[in-house]
Structure 1
Amino acid sequence: MISVIICSADPAALQLVKENVAETIGTDHEIIAFANANAEKGICELYNEGTKQAKYDILVFMHEDIEMKTVHWGARVLEIFAGNPKLGLVGVAGGGYKSLVPSSWYNADLEMNGGFYCNLIQGFKHSGREAFLDYRNAKNEKLTKVASIDGCWMATRKEVALTHPFDQHLLKHFHAYDIDFSLAVGRQYDVAVTYEVLLSHFSEGNFSQVWENEISKVHKKWSAVLPVNADGLDEKSLLRYERRAFRLYFERKLDQGKTYKELMQVCWNARHSRIFKGLKWYKMYVDLWRVWRKGND
């Protein structure tokens, strides 16, 4: 039995996804939907409200621009949680390494970034590209432990969501909640990607300035925890990879008009990380100062 929680901006899309869930879930369920077309509340606040209202022990948070493809996917989700007592959160896409450098749940700037794991049909609402099946299961597993997941679709236990609520005080909009929730849950439980549930996601996301601001908040909050290395990458090499990724991040953001002060605040937050203690952080600071000087010569 599953409680499906949706923050809706489009009544027509909501109706379609309700019908789709009813046809495919394959178990008793309820849908808790919040009409939020005018964005009166952030997604974290509404997800927390949905958690409190839910009458079932397994919760699924999902976007409304989704079509579930797997028949009886709900029954499969129940089996996954029943068979994995340490599992706290599961999605259909996620990254094995969550970088200290601000990014989504996967940072392409890193030379060695752990795995990119997913099973979904990715659509492209904004760019107009043709949708395709994005299946990445390098370990050939049914369930892969990851550092963080994509929030387009994610399932958890009600007790987990009550103990580790979405941070509605920090995140007021509709971005970064998935990374924040993954990191919070991952402190006590396993976070994983399943390949046994397939869905079609119609949008590739919108990486706006608001998205960037929310990501920055999450990285500041978790700076003492990041990076999260669920893939077991060589810890001795992480400092080198992160330093390079920071340089690329600074170069790109300077080109986009970010100020030295804004970027050095990101650097300052990173001093809490286990990989940048003491002199190691100072060396990175000098690296980034040189990037800024080079761009202003």
Structure 2
Amino acid sequence: MISIVICSANANDLRLVSRNIEQTIGVPFEIISFDNSDGKKGICELYNIGRNNAKYDIICFMHEDIRIDTSDWGKLVLDKFAGKAEIGVVGVAGGGYKSLTPSGWYCLEYKSVDRYFQNLLQGFKLDDKDEILAYHNPYDQKISEVICVDGLWFCARKEILDEKPFDEDLLKGFHGYDIDFCLNIYGKHKIVVVYDVLMKHASEGNFNSSWLNEILKVHRKWTKSLPLTISDISDMELYDTEKAALKNLVEQMIEWKYSFYQIHRMLLTVGKSGKMPLRLFFKGYVHLVEQKLGIRK
């Protein structure tokens, strides 16, 4: 039995995904949906209301622009949790490295095969691209442990959500909630990606300054705990990954018209990490000055 929570911005998408769930889930369920087409409430607030109203022990949070293709997927989800008290979150896409440098659920500059794990059909609304099967299971596993999952679709135990709700005081928009929630429970409960529930996600996501503003909030909250990785890698590899990611972020923030002060504040947050040497902050700061002065290396 599964409670499904959806924050809706499009009534037709909600109608289609509700019909899809009914046809494919294969177990008793309820859909708790919210019409948020006016965007007046943040997704954390609505997800917490949904959690409070849910009557089943497993809650699935999902975007409405999804079509699930696997029959009886609800049975597969419940089986992942059954008799496995250590598993707290199940998703279909997730990252094995959460960078200190502000980022989404995976870090592009991390070169290990553990960078991401996923199985989904990825559609594109913003780019003129054909749908692709985004599959990456480097160890041919049935379940892969990760640091964070993608918020497009994930299931969690209600008892965990009751103890660790979404941070609606911090996050007022529609981004960062998945990373923040996972970091809040990481180390206490296992967060996993599964490969036997296949779905299509119609949108690739919109990564812009609105998205980054929420990510920066999440990183100010968790910087002393980052980076986190499931891999056994050297300190030098960690440093090189973060240095590359930080330089790329500085350049992206400049392109998105962030002020010198805003980028400076981001770098100060990175410098507060207890896991990385302070020289990483100075490398980032030098790169910022070079970019502002037009010095290219």
Give the TM-score normalised by structure 2: 0.94
Q: d(CA) in 2 for partners of 1:274 and 1:114?
A: 23
Deviations 1:245-280 (A, max 9, x none): 21222233234433332112111112332322xxx2
Residue 292 in structure 1 maps to residue 282 in structure 2: no
CA RMSD across the alignment: 1.5
Q: d(CA) in 2 for partners of 1:113 and 1:175?
A: 25
Q: d(CA) in 1 for partners of 2:41 and 2:3?
A: 20
Alignment of 1:1-297 (within 5 A): 1-112=1-112, 114-235=114-235, 237-276=237-276, 280-281=277-278, 283-295=279-291, 296-297=293-294
8 Å Cα contact 2:270-2:281 kept in structure 1 = no
Deviations 1:43-66 (A, max 9, x none): 100000000100000000001100
Q: d(CA) in 1 for partners of 2:284 and 2:257?
A: 16
Deviation at 1:289, TM superposition (A): 2.9
SS of the equivalent of 2:31 reads strand
Deviation at 1:83, TM superposition (A): 4.1
SS of the equivalent of 1:274 reads coil
Q: d(CA) in 1 for partners of 2:247 and 2:207?
A: 20
Equivalent position amino acid for 2:290 in 1: K
Runs of 5+ in structure 1 lacking a partner?
none
Structure 1 stretch 196-205 or stretch 101-110: which is displaced more?
A: 101-110
Equivalent position amino acid for 2:210 in 1: V
Q: d(CA) in 2 for partners of 1:2 and 1:121?
A: 23
8 Å Cα contact 1:2-1:29 kept in structure 2 = yes
SS of the equivalent of 1:288 reads helix
Q: d(CA) in 1 for partners of 2:90 and 2:16?
A: 24
SS of the equivalent of 1:141 reads coil
8 Å Cα contact 2:126-2:203 kept in structure 1 = yes
SS of the equivalent of 2:156 reads strand
Percent identity over paired residues: 41
Runs of 5+ in structure 2 lacking a partner?
none
Equivalent position amino acid for 1:285 in 2: F
SS of the equivalent of 1:240 reads helix
8 Å Cα contact 1:89-1:185 kept in structure 2 = no
8 Å Cα contact 2:100-2:219 kept in structure 1 = yes
Q: d(CA) in 2 for partners of 1:62 and 1:177?
A: 12
SS of the equivalent of 2:50 reads helix
Deviations 1:170-204 (A, max 9, x none): 11111111111111121410111010111010000
Deviation at 1:128, TM superposition (A): 2.6
Deviation at 1:113, TM superposition (A): 7.3
Q: d(CA) in 1 for partners of 2:269 and 2:132?
A: 38
Runs of at least 4 residues off by over 4 Å: none
Equivalent position amino acid for 1:78 in 2: L
Number of aligned positions between the proteins: 293
Equivalent position amino acid for 1:134 in 2: A
Deviations 1:8-27 (A, max 9, x none): 11111111111100110000
8 Å Cα contact 2:25-2:74 kept in structure 1 = yes
Equivalent position amino acid for 1:90 in 2: V
Q: d(CA) in 2 for partners of 1:107 and 1:175?
A: 16
